[in-house]
Amino acid sequence: MSTKSRVIQGSAVLAALLALTDAACSGPGTMTSAAGPGAHRISLLSVGMFAIAAFVFLVVVCFLAYGLFHRRRDADTQEPNLEDHGGTRMVLLGGIAFPIVVLITLFVITLVALQAQANEDTGSHAFTINVIAHRWWWEFQYPTQGIDTANEVHIPTGQPVLMEVTSTDVIHSFWVPRLQRKVDAIPGRTNEVTLQADTDGTYLGECSEFCGLQHAHMRFNVIAESADAFNAWVADQQKAAPEPTGDALQGQQVFLGSSCVYCHSITGTNASGTVGPNLTHVASRTTLASGTIPNTPDELAAWIENPQSIKPGTQMPASGLTSTQLRQLVAYLETLS
Ligand code: CUA
């Protein structure tokens, strides 16, 4: 094969790899499609490190190629002689000086990124959200606004919000790839991380530390919206649950008369359990069971009837309700928007 066709073939392979990388590096759960200052910084650092590594690789390959072809021509006529070929200088420059410069550069850019991250977390924030990881769902408490919600966190676009992350059971990890680095949720400890989105949108979050059977079903949504939309959401969430009537009233009695109340809270009722998500505004959320199923009346009924069939291992037991009770309970929960 001629050198020219080798070059063409090499270029085609490189182009295919780049296209593949591009396809793999976009999407809702990809940190390279950064949408917030934290993720931008991580993305920049990754690209910088990749560029340096690629440069080092190229230099090594060039020297290797030179060595191979050069040696092949004069191998018959003379023995290799390090002195004659400038071997000592090569060892000093390529083996010691060059790696030191590269490693120091990597060290410095990492330190700069770490410092920027620390400044961000200790800087000023619009407000604080307490993030509490449970097996297998996320609780979001807004102490300033007096809101307690689950698996869906609203933030105002363009404003830094401080997330104080902890866990009630095992170690989880809080991660919104397009917005920020991951941070461990550790029982008995609080770790801080700043969340900020550049533009309105829904950003996928996930648990990034294996925490048991339903680790993969521990997703959440970060909804970044305009200050007006955010304030409207806050006002809605602060409202008490409406007084139920008809089927919904029957459903409320089913709820309050069953074991639901030991694990769930609904503001304005006697239900004040903290094991499972607060249900005061459950109908306003887009998913159930931490991103496992969409929040529709049918899915909700199926979930209450037999949670283990949808999310094996979940702490929620089957309800054992009659079909009428189940219908009434769903009618009640659907009023909690
Ligand atoms: Cu929680 Cu993995």
Positive or negative, the Cα torsion across 140, 142, 143, 146? negative
Cα distances (angstroms) measured from residue 264 to each of 18, 19, 35, 336: 49, 48, 34, 13
Query: Is the confidence at residue 290, as pLDDT, over 80?
Result: yes
| Nearest by Cα to 284 from 219, 223, 236, 227 | 236
Q: Span 106-116, mean pLDDT?
A: 94
* pLDDT higher than 80, residue 210: yes
Centre of ligand 1 to C-alpha 215, Å, is 4
- CB under 8 Å to 302, separation ≥6 — which residues? 293, 309, 310
Q: What is the mean pLDDT of residues 247-254?
A: 90
Is the pLDDT assigned to residue 8 strictly greater than 70? no
Q: Indicate the helix (H) or strand (E) that contains 298.
A: helix 297-305
Q: How far is CA 186 from CA 83, 162, 198, 238, in A?
A: 58, 17, 28, 29
Pocket of ligand 1 (CB under 6 A): 133, 136, 172, 207, 209-211, 215, 218
Residue 300 CA, ligand 1 centroid: distance in Å: 23
The closest-lying atom of ligand 1 relative to the alpha carbon of residue 135 is 1
- In this prediction, residues 248-256 reach a mean pLDDT of 90
Q: What is the distance between the alpha carbons of residues 138 and 268, in angstroms, rounded to a whole number?
A: 23
The mean pLDDT value for 178-195 works out to 96
The helix-helix angle for 297-305 and 323-334 (nearest 10°) equals: 130
Contact call for residues 336 and 280 (beta carbons, < 8 A): yes
Share of the chain above pLDDT 90, in %: 61
Q: Give the distance (Å) from ligand 1 centre to CA of residue 204.
A: 15
Comparison of pLDDT for 29 and 138, the residue scoring more: 138
Tokens representing 205? 């979050």
Q: How far is the CA of 282 from the centre of ligand 1 (A)?
A: 22
Of residues 192 and 78, more confidently modeled: 192
How far apart CA 288 and CA 290 sit, in angstroms, is: 6
> For residue 255, how far is its CA from the centre of ligand 1 (angstroms)?
29
Q: Is the dihedral of CA 79, 83, 85, 90 positive or negative?
A: positive
Sign of CA dihedral 104, 108, 114, 115: positive
Q: Name the band, by pLDDT with cuts 50, 70 and 90, for residue 131.
A: very high
Give the Cα separation of 228 and 216 in Å (integer). 34
pLDDT range class, residue 268, cuts 50, 70, 90: confident
State both tokens at 335: 């009023």
Task: Kindly give the number of the ligand 1 atom that is closest to the alpha carbon of 170.
Answer: 1
Nearest CA to ligand 1 atom 1: 172
Mean pLDDT of the chain: 87
Which of 50-59, 89-98, 160-169, 319-328 has the weakest average pLDDT? Answer: 89-98
> Cβ distance 120 to 37 under 8 Å?
yes
